[in-house]
Amino acid sequence: MLTDWMQLAVTQAKKAGVATYQNPQVGAVLVKDGQVLAQGYHHYFGGDHAEVDVLRQVTSEQAKDATLVVTLEPCSHYGKTPPCCERIVQAGIRKVVIGQLDPIQLSVARAASICWIMTWRSSRVVWQRKYER
């Protein structure tokens, strides 16, 4: 299941094409009780990130205790947009599954101190850390 959801997130990320340059293409999928609630991506440079795109598509009740599958570790710093990690915590997301850590030093592994983060590689969890809410 997680592999399928991550593949959906990758498919979403590709929709951006070159519009996100100088940022990476990022996709996200929100899942609850085994059902995909929303899919989204980072549409253009300076715009909402994929995590926010997904959260805008659901109610607060739907987001609470859901799992967010995202291709890149959510940002944890202020830039052109506020930190996605803050929005994730505010939404009550229970778990975040990421495809890779953010290589930008402002973000790398900082999201792990914000919420459940799992790095998904080769169909298995290779790293996780828990944030106590």
Residue of 73, 68, 122, 62 lying closest to 101 (CA atoms): 73
Distances (CA, A) of 34 to 27, 29, 31, 80, 97: 19, 12, 6, 33, 14
Residues with catalytic roles:
51
